[in-house]
Homo-oligomer: A and B are copies of this chain.
Amino acid sequence: MTSPAAGKPIRTAITDEDGIDFAIIELFFFAYRDFTSDPDQILADYGFGRAHHRVLHFVNRRPGLTVAELLDVLKITKQSLARVLKQLIDTDHIVQVQGPRDRRQRELYPTAKGRALALALARPQSRRIRAALEDSGTTERATIERFLEAMVNPELRAQIDIVPAQTSGKNHGDH
């Protein structure tokens, strides 16, 4: 059972006494696990995975972004994106349009089908968030927004602000 030179078992639980915030670390894990489980079930019907969801989401959020921009947001490599993007194009969820200024670029846009799927995937997630805000008595979602934004690496926060969240009205300055 225990190999000869094995260390002795520690029988006490690790706690926050070391100044480490295990409570929130663990909650974040559970919350994200369940947050992603909603769309996962829908995606399975299409033979898609989480990667397809992420691509679909950002193409809907920033229609016309290029492949390079998408790679930058997702923080994955071109090769990882290739298969997923090809499947979404083949199934008519996303279309490529040749860049107007630079014809090497491929601008990515959702089709009506892709828009519908993106909404269907987001719906249960949004419902979960709304319920959580109500259940937890958090009247101001701004608190949660600020916290989550502060959890993001400062140098990457620029990515978030590309799409005007919801309060600010208009700045889609893309062309």
Binding site for B on A (CB under 8 A): 1-2, 5-16, 18-35, 37, 54, 57, 60-64, 75, 92, 95-98, 106, 109-115, 118-119, 122-123, 125-126, 128-133, 135-138, 141, 143-153, 156, 159-160, 163, 165-166, 172
Contacts and interface: CB of A to CB of B under 8 A. Distances in A.
B151 A128 contact: yes
**Most B CB atoms within 10 A — which of A28, A54, A172?**
A28
A2 B95 contact: yes
Contacts of A32: 28, 32
Contacts of A22: 61, 122, 126, 163, 166
B63 A97 contact: no
B145 A10 contact: no
Given A6-B111, A23-B165, A138-B147, 14 more contacts: A7-B111, A9-B95, A15-B166, A21-B129, A21-B141, A25-B57, A26-B160, A27-B152, A29-B57, A30-B148, A30-B152, A30-B160, A129-B151, A144-B144
Nearest to A165: B23
Given A27-B149, A27-B160, A132-B151, A63 B95 contact: no
